[in-house]
Amino acid sequence: MNRFLVYTLGILAMWASAAVAVRQVTHSLDDIELLGKQGKWGEVISYLNEVPSMDRSSRWQAYLEEAALQYLKEVAQQDKQQVETAASTLRLQFPSLERSSAFQGARDEYMLEGFAVCFRTKTSIKTQKTSCANSLVAFVNRNPTDETLLLSAVELLQSNSAFKEALEILIPALQEPDGSRLCTSPLVRRSIAATPEAKRCP
């Protein structure tokens, strides 16, 4: 793995786990934004974290989202397999990112791109291709309320002939009390048409 990425992820994990009672602000938001213009997103994240909760204005929140998106992009360019770890650490450090659809969407996009690469590079080895599929199922299961992710994952699995794994995602979702909402998707209807154990769509 790239040495820069290992270092940066390590620093983010340290921030997330450290219990710090008082933080001293050493950079203004103007200073932090200047670092962003220089592409120093790891530093931007660290300095945004120094700002006390009472001073986290709407401007700060907007810039946090931008910085988080840029940082995820940077991680994805280095190693897409590290995107989920980076995103989880950022959400732990900045809980408000949980409410950011742009942040969640970027994470899912990069993760799905990584799984697509996994399938492309391992198509000739069945056990490795199955490993890609199982990892994708596990990722979706860690994010059970993300319907867009679920449908995108099913489509990717089916396009790589991983039909069994696609059903591993779909069947539990369809069995939820509001699972019938998924039946509006032609992809879902095709997937369960010949599956006796799946909840039928009307």
The rounded distance, in Å, linking the Cα atoms of 103 and 156 is: 21
Is 153 in contact with 143 (CB distance < 8 Å)?
no
CA gap 188, 8 in Å, rounded: 40
pTM of structure: 0.77
Range of lowest pLDDT (45-49, 90-94, 182-186, 198-202): 198-202
Q: How far apart are CA 122 and CA 80, in angstroms?
A: 16
Query: Would you say residue 22 has pLDDT above 70?
Result: no
**pLDDT(20) > 70:** no
pLDDT over 70 at 94, yes or no: yes
Look-up: residue for tokens 């050493």?
26
Which one, of 131, 183, 184, 180, lies nearest residue 157 by Cα? 131
| 95 SS3 class | helix
Exposure b/e, 66-85, CB count within 10 A at least 16 = b: bbbbbbbebbbebbbbbbbe
Q: What is the average per-residue pLDDT within 121-150?
A: 84
The residues, ordered by sequence, that sit 6+ positions from 52 with a Cβ below 8 Å of its Cβ are 23, 25
CA angle 187, 202, 177 (to 5 degrees): 85
Residue 82: CA atoms inside 13 Å, Cβ hemisphere, count? 22
| The total number of residues written for the chain in this structure | 202
Give the count of beta carbons closer than 10 Å to the beta carbon of residue 30. 7
- Let me know: does 102 contact 71? Beta carbons within 8 Å: no
Q: Which residue has the higher pLDDT, 102 or 21?
A: 102
Residues 9-37: what's their mean pLDDT? Answer: 66
With a cut of 80, say whether residue 12 has pLDDT above it.
no
Residue of higher predicted confidence among 66 and 179:
66
- Which position has the higher pLDDT, 200 or 40? 40
